[in-house]
Amino acid sequence: MIHSLFLINHSGDIFLEKHWKSVISRSVCDYFFEVKEKAVDPENVPPVLQTPHHYLISIYRGKLFFLSVVQTEVPPLFVIEFLHRVADTFQDYFGECSEGVIKDNLVTVYELLEEMLDNGFPLATESNVLKEMIRPPNILRSVVNTLTGGSNVGDTLPTGQLSNVPWRRAGVKYTNNEAYFDVVEEIDAILDKSGTTVFAEIQGVVEACVRLTGMPDLTLSFMNPRLLDDMSFHPCVRFKRWESERVLSFIPPDGNFTLMTYHVSSQNLVAIPVYVKQNINFFETGSCGRLDITIGPKQNMGKTVEGLMVTIHMPKVVLSANLTATQGNYTYDLTTKVLVWDIGKLNPQKLPNLRGSLSMQAGAPKPEENPSLNIDLKIQQLAISGLKVSRLDMYGEKYKPFKGVKYLTKAGKFQVRT
């Protein structure tokens, strides 16, 4: 199925290759480089390319291309999902998925790839199982390994692979038994010039960190489960019980995992936490422009908006910006033409404002379109959809665990048109 994998960095160097069937020459990537050259921005490279003898299916993650070579017809969703799984695994093992990190951990990377695919077919992709076969590197262990000559390869067979619950290994033991859940919601929204919502949707995820002894059976229930659309669960969740009772019942994997992801897509349920008053003008003559942006709180359920940041991709003709901010500070990157205004906490008594003039290239025509504002923000202890966990019960074990739920709202693709 998947013949070979090439990892290619931002500038177009292949720095890792792995073949599961016969060896395919690197020259197959030339087709890819050709398209990449043409696309200018690496993001614009289409994910599927056809060459005379192969298909190249690639994903772009963290400034890296994961390029797989396929010889026969395959389901594209399958390959794309798998490539993302590979990237996720690297992220999970090394904390980030970048060229430097992969080069530093080359051995682990090869071992992982070897375990994840055999003859081109996915083999072990569940992070819990992989971690038992190949232990993730950490500083302490690598020091110990250097001193003792030990290895980071488990020398026993992962027990989980044969148990009835493939995602959990047997015989887990902790002195502190704890189960924490983070409900993280991202608002994807497009607001138009007048502040009305063109499109809004919430992408939510429930991340769990469960360290419990033995084989606990957990039940998590929500105050308002009917709010959610399009849920997707970790394989451990019993779907039947969700369908009948709207509770999440599961035997958790050990450690960190994503319990579920969901969408809230009906627009009237999506609260927009801030409003933006903006005025960006480019003058016909005099090659300059004005900019005036004010941000204020809208529907934030009484919580403070933090980490507020506004990013504007200015038109190419804007040479510099001479602005004053009543709060926070701004930077304008001359090469990328990106204006970033880092505001921080939003104070509802004194609204942050950024105003001033923009100077443009002399003689250049006035840009026909105003730039959009991308907004980044955070609200602690609030799930903007109003989702609330009501209780967590544990069956099957006798001890009493620590439990905790945290909520966080973030801006995802939050964009204001001007």
Partner 1 sequence: MPYLGGEETVRELRRALSNPNVQSDQLRYRNTILKVIRAMSQGVDMSGLFSEMVKACATVDVVQKKLVYVFLCSYAALNPELSLLVINTLRKDCQDPNPMVRSLALRNMTNLRLPSLVEYVEQPLAAGLRDRAACVRRVAVLGWAKLHNLQASSEIDAAVVNELYSLLRDPDPVVMVNCLRALEEILKDEGGVAINKPITHHLLNRLKECDIWGQCQVLRVLQRYRPQSEDELFDILSLLDASLVSPHPPIMAATLSLFLSLCSGQPAVSLAALERVRGPLLAACGSGSREMRFTALCHIQLLLRSIPGLMGAHYKRFFCGYAEPAYIKQRKMQVLVELVNDENVAMLLDELKGYCTDVNAETAQAAITAIGRIGRSYSDRCLEILTGLLGLKQDHITSAVVQTMRDLVWVCPQCSDTVCFALEGCEETLQDSQGRQALLWLLGVYGERVSSAPYTLEVFIDGVRSEASLGVKMELLTATMRLFLCRPAETQDMLGRLLHYCIEEETDMCVRDQALLYYRLLHCGIEETRKVLQGRRSDPSLGVLIGRPAEPVSQWARSFNTLEPLRQGSIETESVSRGSPEHTMFDPKPNADLSNTLDCSRIEKVHSECVRCPTIPRCSPQSLQAAMQLVNIQTLAFTPPQTLPWRVYLYTHTCLDDAPHSTLILGELLYTGEEPQKAEVHKGSADGGVGAEGIEDDM
Subset of 190-229 contacting partner 1 (CB under 8 A): 190, 198-199, 201, 203, 229
Q: Does 37 bind partner 1 (CB under 8 A)?
A: no
Among 30, 33, 37, 44, binds partner 1 (CB under 8 A): 44
Q: How far is the CB of 372 from partner 1 (least distance, A)?
A: 5
Among 60, 250, 341, 407, binds partner 1 (CB under 8 A): 60
Q: How far is the CB of 240 from partner 1 (least distance, A)?
A: 9
The CA distance from 41 to 91, in Å, is 24
The first and second tokens of residue 128, run together, are 């819990």
Report the DSSP beta bridge partners of residue 330.
341
Contact 211, 218 (CB under 8 A): no
Q: Does 33 bind partner 1 (CB under 8 A)?
A: no
- Three-state secondary-structure class, residue 259: strand
Q: Does 31 bind partner 1 (CB under 8 A)?
A: no
Q: How far is the CB of 299 from partner 1 (least distance, A)?
A: 20
Q: Does 125 bind partner 1 (CB under 8 A)?
A: yes
The CA distance from 96 to 14, in Å, is 19
The CA distance from 281 to 35, in Å, is 37
Among 8, 28, 59, 270, binds partner 1 (CB under 8 A): 59
Q: How far is the CB of 164 from partner 1 (least distance, A)?
A: 10
Number of residues forming the site for partner 1 (CB under 8 A): 85
| Closer to partner 1 by Cβ: residue 168 or 211 | 168
The first and second tokens of residue 266, run together, are 């009906």
| Strand 402-416 with 178-191, pairing | parallel
Q: How far is the CB of 93 from partner 1 (least distance, A)?
A: 16
Contact flags string 139-158 toward partner 1, x per CB under 8 A:
-------x--x-xxxxxxx-
| Closer to partner 1 by Cβ: residue 16 or 323 | 16
Q: How far is the CB of 136 from partner 1 (least distance, A)?
A: 14
| Closer to partner 1 by Cβ: residue 206 or 394 | 206
Footprint on residues 311-350 left by partner 1 (CB under 8 A): 313
- Three-state secondary-structure class, residue 190: strand
Q: How far is the CB of 177 from partner 1 (least distance, A)?
A: 28
Task: Give the burial string for 232-242 (b: 16+ CB within 10 Å, else e).
Answer: ebbebbbeeeb
Q: How far is the CB of 61 from partner 1 (least distance, A)?
A: 8
The H helix count followed by the E strand count for the chain is: 7, 23
Place of tokens 């419990």: 212
The CA distance from 65 to 319, in Å, is 33
Q: How many CB atoms neighbour CB 142 within 10 A?
A: 13
Among 48, 143, 362, 364, binds partner 1 (CB under 8 A): 48
The CA distance from 112 to 154, in Å, is 13
Contact 245, 192 (CB under 8 A): no
Footprint on residues 370-389 left by partner 1 (CB under 8 A): 372, 374
State which H helix or E strand residue 57 sits in.
strand 55-61
Footprint on residues 272-311 left by partner 1 (CB under 8 A): none
| Closer to partner 1 by Cβ: residue 133 or 172 | 133
Contact 280, 288 (CB under 8 A): no
Q: Does 24 bind partner 1 (CB under 8 A)?
A: no
Query: Is residue 308 classed exposed, middle or buried when 0-12, 13-18 and 19+ CB atoms within 10 A define those classes?
Result: buried
Among 12, 33, 78, 393, binds partner 1 (CB under 8 A): 78
Footprint on residues 94-113 left by partner 1 (CB under 8 A): 103, 106-107, 110-111
Altogether, the residues listed in the chain come to a count of 418
Residue 212 identity: L
Q: How far is the CB of 175 from partner 1 (least distance, A)?
A: 30
Q: How far is the CB of 178 from partner 1 (least distance, A)?
A: 27
Among 318, 330, 336, residue whose Cα is nearest residue 280: 318
Q: Does 123 bind partner 1 (CB under 8 A)?
A: yes
Among 138, 232, 331, 390, binds partner 1 (CB under 8 A): 232
Q: How far is the CB of 107 from partner 1 (least distance, A)?
A: 6
